[in-house]
Chains A and B, each alone.
Chain A
Amino acid sequence: MIFGPSRRQIRGVVAVAAAAAMLLASTACSPGTASTDGAQDSGTPQAGGTLRVGIVGGSAKDSLDAHSPVTHPDEARVIQLYDTLATYDADHQLEMALAEDITPSEDATTWTVTLREGLKFSDGSPIRAEDVVFTFRRITDPADPKSGAAGLALLDRDRLAATDARTVTFPFTKPLATFPDAVAQYSNGIVPEGYDPTAPVGSGPFMLQSFDPGSQSTFVRNPHYWRAEQPYLDEITIIDFPDDTARVNALLGGQVDAIDQLPLSQIEVIKANPNLRVLESETGSWIPFTMRIDQAPFDDPRVREAFRLMVDREEMVQQVLGGHGTVGNDMYGRFDPCYPDDIPQRTQDIDRAKELLAEAGQSDLTVELVTSPVAAGLVEAAQVFAEQAKEAGVTVDVRKVDPGEFYGDQYLQWTFAQDFWFTRDYLPQTAAGSVEGAPYNETHWSNPEWAALVEEASATVDEEARCDLIAQAQQIEYDLGGYIIWGFPNSVDAHTAAVQGLVPDKSGIPLTSFGFRSVWLNN
């Protein structure tokens, strides 16, 4: 599947409810002005104004291509410029966007997409079924596959066709029950036939005005946008900030109105300021340890289970995320409607871990854990884990490498390492990281019984039947899998009190999935 907000760093946050409570508390305590504009979403949206947003990262490699965003500012830009057929709302519920209907055939091998009526691109030309066909052929071009290609590997692109002006048929080589998830990924935005990334014509709420890679880009409102009233803002400026300190300083100094990924250490600073707000979201992001199940010592399931039992998850969430996260249970897809809540929570059990290691003949084990600062909390998690492993008599040598080396020739081949993922449902996640031939199968997971379950689930349109299969598959990964999923970090952003319309969002993509179309300024 498509890699969500892939390369961005994760920052911790608090549970939504707790966050809201704390926000209210902090504004209630602060004097004067706070009470009048303290609440989120106060009043009716006002049109107009310019929003300046500071976003982590950015580089000379910044691109405008709708289908190959590589940096975080790229993700933010792509979301402003291009709309997708469907989308996830802040509560991780799928809703239709450019499409008014997406229907599977009975066996889910063919999907029919119907576009809304009267849609237009930013240059005023109509959005036609042919443009949708062009878009998905471009994404899955075998000579130059884009970000979304892996998630659409089953698409029979030659038979992909427009049946009339507003209808497109998507044929697949195998059943694909999760097709709507694929088209809801932001890197699969709809572009016009003959699309030129350097002078982009888009389908999103804003149009490009200027673009300076590694520095900043500006956008103006798209007058042909399909959602009534939106966007409210006249202009947006997206500013690249590779450095955390500079990004926070820009917000404190009033040079930007909102920033993504507030460092944990700055949360209290922002909360203490009556003119600033912290936006905290509980997410389905996860930052697992990855054990290669085809290499010693992890080729023994007893060792894998022992490692999962060595982790004190509560302590991890406290120490690594400063309490801004939720404990994990070695299973991903936490917001999937089929997530099995009834599987018991795994907790630290040093005695059992020692027992398992002894049975496996691996007492006094020494392993190397490869870590890299590719996402917030990874290196810290590795260090805390090494401490916790000591209790079970396991020596974990933490080897910290530079991101270039982490993603170098050994990428996806490390015996014991880490990774980060964003909120996705179970099946799309397996397609990305666990099934045979998945592009990011970092644990080298392979289990015929499990694979059969997942394949059957992927072909099952009936939700109840699918959930049953997914629960069985989850149970197998819970028992035997190569991931140690100790927690789900929250995401934390910050903005000024004048910025309205940003709400906590489960996606893990900052600032309400960069949803600036619903932002307005309360002046």
Chain B
Amino acid sequence: MRRMLLKRCLFGLVTLLVVSFVVFLATQALPGDAARAILGREATPERLAALREQLNLEGSLPSQYLNWLGSLLQFDLGTSLAAKQPVTGMIGPTLVNSSVLMLSAAVVATPLAIVIGTWSALKKDSAVDHATGIVTLVLAALPEFVVGILLVLLLSTGLFHLLPAVYVGTPGQQVWNDPAQLVLPALTLVLAVLPYIVRIMRATMLEVLDSEYVQQARLKGVPERTVIIRHALPNAVGPVAQVIALQLAWLVGGVVIVEYLFRFPGVGFQLIDAVANRDLPLVQALVLAIALFYVVVNLLADVVTLAANPKVRTAR
């Protein structure tokens, strides 16, 4: 198992390298450079020339990429072209903000989804089960920005005025200092990932409940609660962990739109801006951070699946 993990880690590193290369090529393919993006309509030849010189936009493509990779190995992410500040200092707070948002969403969504899915499986074909099925299907079909807009209408600008509609922080304060402003974006993310986990949990649980070992346990006279908690759940969680991981990985992408909608100062918000500014060092750093998150989450899911399944755990 250790060898397998090591192999996975190596694959992860290769993935990151490939991602950084692809992103570099993609940003180069975008028309215009940072100087043009920053000046926009006011890009007179004189001002362009002056800004290009300030930004140091010279040098061939391969040498630019290799320079960037070289400094990355020394943990130097370079300087943002638009803000003229070190990238490390800029992405630190936004990474923390996005993590807070995603973590709160994950902490709520995962247990909730497992409970609802299990419950739905236990009450198979009841009204509750059908209702869950329909609601999760509808939620899964709605894009997250639609869910977000509906939530805002419902909870802050239209029907009720319970929660702040957008995130408007106080300078010098951390995002968690005003939790009320976090509720709507986090809730949107919860509703975005919940349906998939609920549905896979229900399906897996049904399969497990039908299995011979659960029947055996029941025949032995084990109380139903114990059957579910000790025998059924652990076996269902393995496959569900994969889906949860996928959903969490998706979160980091979905968070881009949700952050934009709620004006939440996270990775997604910053990434949209950085792409618009053709701010290559910042784009690279953010995409790399997102890719790293993907790799780590998938790795963790593998570990959970392995740990939950003795057959895999002991195999060589």
Q: Which residues of A contact B (CB under 8 A)?
A: 3, 6-7, 52, 59-61, 70, 142-145, 147, 149-150, 210, 212-216, 218, 239, 241-243, 245-246, 249-250, 252-256, 374, 401-405, 407-409, 411, 439-440
The list of the 4 closest CB pairs from A to B, nearest first, reads A253-B165, A61-B82, A249-B165, A408-B32
B279 touches A60 (CB 8 A): yes
29 A/B residue pairs, CB under 8 Å, sorted by A: A6-B42, A52-B168, A59-B273, A59-B276, A60-B80, A60-B83, A60-B90, A60-B273, A61-B83, A70-B42, A143-B50, A145-B44, A149-B47, A216-B168, A241-B263, A242-B272, A243-B263, A246-B166, A246-B260, A249-B157, A250-B166, A253-B156, A253-B166, A256-B168, A374-B40, A401-B31, A407-B32, A407-B37, A408-B31
Q: How far is the CA of A61 from the CA of B45 in the complex (A)?
A: 20
B31 touches A402 (CB 8 A): yes
Q: How far is the CA of A408 from the CA of B30 in the complex (A)?
A: 10
B31 touches A404 (CB 8 A): yes
B38 touches A61 (CB 8 A): yes
Chain A residues contacting B161 (CB-CB under 8 Å) are 253-254
Least Cβ–Cβ distance between B21 and chain A, in angstroms: 21
A59 touches B32 (CB 8 A): no
Chain A residues contacting B277 (CB-CB under 8 Å) are 59-61
Least Cβ–Cβ distance between A290 and chain B, in angstroms: 13
Interface centre among A144, A212, A246, A256 (most CB of B within 10 A): A246
Contact with A along B142-186 (1 / 0, CB 8 A): 000000010010001100010011101101100000000000000
A142 to B, closest residue via Cβ: B46
A252 touches B165 (CB 8 A): yes
Least Cβ–Cβ distance between B277 and chain A, in angstroms: 6
Query: Given that A59-B277, A212-B171, A374-B41 are known contacts, is A255 also in contact with B83, CB under 8 Å in the complex?
Result: no
Least Cβ–Cβ distance between B171 and chain A, in angstroms: 4
Least Cβ–Cβ distance between B57 and chain A, in angstroms: 14
A404 touches B38 (CB 8 A): no
Q: B199: CB under 8 A from chain A?
A: no
Interface range for B: 35 or more
Number of A-B contacts (CB under 8 A): 133
Q: How far is the CA of A60 from the CA of B84 in the complex (A)?
A: 9
B40 touches A7 (CB 8 A): yes
Chain B residues contacting A143 (CB-CB under 8 Å) are 50
Chain B residues contacting A215 (CB-CB under 8 Å) are 169, 171, 265
Contact with A along B20-55 (1 / 0, CB 8 A): 000000000011100011111111111100100000
Q: How far is the CA of A6 from the CA of B80 in the complex (A)?
A: 24
Q: B294: CB under 8 A from chain A?
A: no
**Chain B positions 66-114 with a Cβ under 8 Å from a chain A Cβ:** 80, 82-83, 90
B282 to A, closest residue via Cβ: A60
Least Cβ–Cβ distance between B314 and chain A, in angstroms: 51
Q: B278: CB under 8 A from chain A?
A: yes
Chain B residues contacting A144 (CB-CB under 8 Å) are 50
A187 to B, closest residue via Cβ: B42
A252 touches B46 (CB 8 A): no
B149 to A, closest residue via Cβ: A245
**Which one of B80, B82, B166, B279 contacts A255 once the chains associate, using CB atoms below 8 Å?**
B166
A411 touches B157 (CB 8 A): no
Chain B residues contacting A216 (CB-CB under 8 Å) are 168-169, 171
Chain B residues contacting A401 (CB-CB under 8 Å) are 31
Q: How far is the CA of A411 from the CA of B32 in the complex (A)?
A: 10
Q: How far is the CA of A254 from the CA of B156 in the complex (A)?
A: 10
Chain A residues contacting B284 (CB-CB under 8 Å) are none
Query: Given that A150-B44, A253-B157, A404-B31 are known contacts, is A70 also in contact with B39, CB under 8 Å in the complex?
Result: yes
Least Cβ–Cβ distance between B228 and chain A, in angstroms: 43
Q: How far is the CA of A405 from the CA of B82 in the complex (A)?
A: 18
A239 to B, closest residue via Cβ: B168
A71 to B, closest residue via Cβ: B40
Least Cβ–Cβ distance between B219 and chain A, in angstroms: 58
Q: How far is the CA of A409 from the CA of B277 in the complex (A)?
A: 15
**Which one of A52, A145, A239, A250 contacts B46 once the chains associate, using CB atoms below 8 Å?**
A145
Q: How far is the CA of A212 from the CA of B93 in the complex (A)?
A: 12
Chain B residues contacting A246 (CB-CB under 8 Å) are 165-166, 260-263
B156 touches A210 (CB 8 A): no
Q: B274: CB under 8 A from chain A?
A: yes
B46 touches A408 (CB 8 A): no
A243 to B, closest residue via Cβ: B260
Chain A residues contacting B282 (CB-CB under 8 Å) are 60
Q: B270: CB under 8 A from chain A?
A: yes
Query: Given that A143-B50, A145-B50 are known contacts, is A242 also in contact with B171, CB under 8 Å in the complex?
Result: no
**Chain B positions 162-214 with a Cβ under 8 Å from a chain A Cβ:** 164-166, 168-169, 171-172
A411 touches B276 (CB 8 A): no
Q: How far is the CA of A3 from the CA of B42 in the complex (A)?
A: 8
Q: How far is the CA of A144 from the CA of B161 in the complex (A)?
A: 50
Contact with A along B267-305 (1 / 0, CB 8 A): 001101110111100100000000000000000000000
B260 touches A242 (CB 8 A): yes
**Which one of A214, A374, A409 contacts B32 once the chains associate, using CB atoms below 8 Å?**
A409
Query: Given that A61-B82, A143-B50, A212-B171 are known contacts, is A407 also in contact with B164, CB under 8 Å in the complex?
Result: no
A252 to B, closest residue via Cβ: B157
Chain A residues contacting B37 (CB-CB under 8 Å) are 404, 407
Least Cβ–Cβ distance between B161 and chain A, in angstroms: 7
Q: How far is the CA of A254 from the CA of B83 in the complex (A)?
A: 30
Least Cβ–Cβ distance between B114 and chain A, in angstroms: 33
Chain B residues contacting A3 (CB-CB under 8 Å) are 41-42
Least Cβ–Cβ distance between B258 and chain A, in angstroms: 11
Least Cβ–Cβ distance between B42 and chain A, in angstroms: 6
Chain B residues contacting A214 (CB-CB under 8 Å) are 83, 265, 270, 273
Q: How far is the CA of A404 from the CA of B90 in the complex (A)?
A: 23
Chain A residues contacting B171 (CB-CB under 8 Å) are 210, 212, 215-216, 218
Least Cβ–Cβ distance between A235 and chain B, in angstroms: 12
Least Cβ–Cβ distance between B94 and chain A, in angstroms: 10
Chain A residues contacting B40 (CB-CB under 8 Å) are 7, 70, 374, 403, 407
Q: How far is the CA of A60 from the CA of B169 in the complex (A)?
A: 16
A439 touches B82 (CB 8 A): no
Query: Given that A59-B82, A60-B282, A70-B40 are known contacts, is A250 also in contact with B168, CB under 8 Å in the complex?
Result: yes
Q: How far is the CA of A256 from the CA of B165 in the complex (A)?
A: 11
Least Cβ–Cβ distance between B147 and chain A, in angstroms: 13
Least Cβ–Cβ distance between A405 and chain B, in angstroms: 4
Least Cβ–Cβ distance between B265 and chain A, in angstroms: 6
B273 touches A404 (CB 8 A): no
Query: Given that A145-B47, A253-B156, A409-B32 are known contacts, is A245 also in contact with B261, CB under 8 Å in the complex?
Result: yes
Q: How far is the CA of A52 from the CA of B171 in the complex (A)?
A: 13
Chain B residues contacting A440 (CB-CB under 8 Å) are 44
A249 touches B82 (CB 8 A): no
Chain B residues contacting A7 (CB-CB under 8 Å) are 40-42
B152 to A, closest residue via Cβ: A249
Least Cβ–Cβ distance between B263 and chain A, in angstroms: 4
Interface centre among A3, A61, A145, A440 (most CB of B within 10 A): A61
Chain B residues contacting A404 (CB-CB under 8 Å) are 30-32, 36-37, 276, 278
Q: How far is the CA of A425 from the CA of B43 in the complex (A)?
A: 22
Q: How far is the CA of A35 from the CA of B45 in the complex (A)?
A: 54
Q: How far is the CA of A322 from the CA of B107 in the complex (A)?
A: 46
Chain A residues contacting B44 (CB-CB under 8 Å) are 145, 150, 439-440
Chain A residues contacting B272 (CB-CB under 8 Å) are 242
A412 to B, closest residue via Cβ: B43
